[in-house]
Amino acid sequence: MSAIEANPPSQLIPDSGDALARLAAVIESRKPERGGDPQASYVARLLHKGPDAFLKKIGEEAAEVIMAAKDADHGGDRQRIVGEVADLWFHSMVALAHYGLAPADVIAELERREGTSGIEEKALRKAAYREGEGNG
């Protein structure tokens, strides 16, 4: 049974902010400039190698989410999707840390979009992008 099946929507993510904040703090502490050792820490190694390393991992993990979902469509284990999304989130959080951002920034953006239709929000982003092109 999934979390959605077992819990009403208001209980789906009760402590996720805390878990994300704790993970973000660990990632932050593993930055090479904060003493993270690339020989001892996977995060420090990714950050030491630079953006190409963790961006490649994000691409790989996104593809693995797709493959897990396609497998689930044909009777595969849905829990594999959860594991692959966790890997994708993790590597995305490494990217956020590299660029001086945090999960709270993403959550704030999602909250900003809350109540706006996806179609409307996408149109607003396209319009803002076009306006920015004219100013460049």
Residue with tokens 């999304």: 85
If pLDDT is split at 50, 70 and 90, which confidence band does 118 have? Answer: confident
pLDDT of residue 68: 99
What pLDDT is stored for residue 2 in this prediction?
A: 47
pLDDT of residue 126: 85
Range of weakest confidence among 5-19, 20-34, 37-51, 59-73: 5-19
Confidence of residue 1 (pLDDT cuts 50, 70, 90): low
Higher pLDDT residue, 81 or 7?
Answer: 81
Confidence class for position 120, pLDDT limits 50, 70, 90: confident
Residue 55 pLDDT level (bands cut at 50, 70, 90)? very high
Per-position DSSP letters for the chain, written without gaps between them = --HHHHS-GGGSSSSHHHHHHHHHHHHHHTSGGGT--TTT-HHHHHHHH-HHHHHHHHHHHHHHHHHHHHHHHTT--THHHHHHHHHHHHHHHHHHHHTT--HHHHHHHHHHHTTS-HHHHHHHHHHHHHHHHHH-
In percent, how much of the chain has pLDDT > 90? 68
**Is the pTM for the entire model greater than 0.85?**
no
Give the mean model confidence (pLDDT) for residues 16-31: 90
Is the pLDDT score of 99 beyond 70?
Answer: yes
Take residue 130 and report the two structure tokens written for it. Answer: 């076009």
